Amino acid sequence: MTKQIIVPFGPQHPVLPEPIHLDLVLEDERVVDVIPSIGYIHRGFEKLVEKREFTEYVYVAERTCGICSFIHGMTYCVGVEQIMNIEVPERADYLRTIWSEYSRLHSHLLWLGLFADSFGFENLFMNAWRIRERILDVFEQTTGGRVIQGTCKIGGVRRDIANEKLAEMSSNLDSIRKEIEDLTNVFLHDDTVRHRTRNVGVLSREDAYHLGAVGPTGRGSGVAIDLRKTGYAAYGKLNFSMVTDSCGDAYSRCLVRCKELFSSIDLIQQAIRKIPDGPIEVKVTGAPNGEFFCRAEQPRGELVHYIKGNGTKFLVRSRIRTPTLSNIPSLIKMLQGCELADVPVIVLSIDPCISCTER
């Protein structure tokens, strides 16, 4: 009769970027069951919508998360603009797309560093973050903030990027692409990395679809869903192909994210070639009256903003459903049956962003 013991994982753990608590039920080194518990970073954002006007709420929505902050602000603005039937000028759309794709580059490079840290490869972790510094420099030169950009507003964007600066960004991306090629070469071809990530945390395609896995977690198992194909911002005018893999283990999720890095660089260079001249904002009057579900593709998956207004300048409801909340059931399924030493690798392979999960 094997005895079962319960080992707590988190909230403080060296590999976790944000606090989450998992109670692991173990039988001799094998995990039998997992009980998650969240709430360490709940700040009550959805209640704050009653006290801040809908134009000021952009700043609150942006601060939901530090890694994917621009896309939160952008999704909120697109949602309110759909309710109020505002058409944003084309240049603003392209600028928003460029900043979103830089956000995605930043997030995936940060994740690559943390993933390498989860199996102890500190040198690779530091090298990934060194490339990330160059992306943060671009953010600071164009928006003024490294992590929180503060450039999205209802009706357009607040700052413009000069055309010479855009050309300089495009040529810098070529040297960044060379460095990323060297980095992903280590992740995908080194034997030590492969031993730790192959056949670890397997999720089949059926399970991934019905448990609600989104983003690279789902695409690594073959669920081909990418919200950028619906064409919000300027994505309708740019060409890109979705990256999927069929194995469903931690190695495939790493492969999907590495390939998405190159796809993002491609998208930014396409957008810089096609961006038109023109105004960057449109004047906004009145207040939103109606409801809308706005969806966007964050680096971690599908983000849903539900906004409901009743004609006054304070919204009635703003609900944010982030991809990590949807990936938690898949995480529980993946952890059942694995060894204790693989738990950090699996938890990090879904890219947990807990501050988004519990706004």
Partner 1 sequence: MGFFEMTKTALKTVLSRPATILYPYQPAKKTGLTRGHVAYDGSKCISCSICVKKCPSQAILLNKEAKTWQIDRFRCVVCSSCVDTCPTKCLSMDTQYTAPAAAKGGEVFTITYVKPAKPEKKDEPNQ
Partner 2 sequence: MITQEQSIIPIDVGKLIGSVEQCRNEGYRLVQIGCTKVGDNAFEINYSFDKDYVLKNLRITVTAEMEIPSITGMYWGAFVYENEMHDLFGIQVKGINIDFKGTFIRTSVKYPFGVTIVKGEKP
Where along the sequence are the contacts to partner 2 (CB under 8 A)?
A: 35, 37-39, 42, 44, 46-47, 50-51, 53, 78, 82, 87, 209-212, 225, 227, 229-233, 236, 291-295, 302, 304, 306, 308, 312-314, 316-317, 319, 321, 325-326, 328-330, 358
Nearer to partner 2, 106 or 359 (CB): 359
Q: CB of residue 194 vs partner 1: minimum separation in angstroms?
A: 8
- The Cα 1–Cα 60 span in angstroms is 53
Does 140 interact with partner 1 (rule: CB under 8 A)? yes
Nearer to partner 2, 57 or 115 (CB): 57
- The Cα 94–Cα 168 span in angstroms is 17
Q: Which of 299, 48, 236, 275 is nearest to 157 (CA)?
A: 275
What's the full length of the chain, in residues?
359
Is the distance from CB of 292 to CB of 82 less than 8 angstroms?
Answer: yes
Provide the mask over 16-55, with x wherever binding to partner 1 is found by CB under 8 A and - wherever it is not. ------------------------------------x---
- Among 28, 133, 174, 339, indicate the residue that binds partner 1 (CB under 8 A): 133
Residue 74 backbone class (left: φ over 0; alpha: ψ -120 to 50; beta: rest): alpha
Question: Could you give the C-alpha distances from 126 to 114, 135, 255, in angstroms and in order?
Answer: 9, 15, 19
Q: CB of residue 224 vs partner 1: minimum separation in angstroms?
A: 29
Which one of 24-32, 57-65, 225-233, 245-253 is the stretch in contact with partner 1 (CB under 8 A)? Answer: 57-65
Question: Could you give the C-alpha distances from 344 to 38, 50, 104, 201, in angstroms and in order?
Answer: 17, 39, 23, 11
- The Cα 124–Cα 254 span in angstroms is 14
**List of residues contacting partner 1 (CB under 8 A):** 52, 56, 59-60, 63, 123-124, 127, 130, 133, 137, 140-145, 148, 150, 158-159, 182-183, 185-186, 189-192
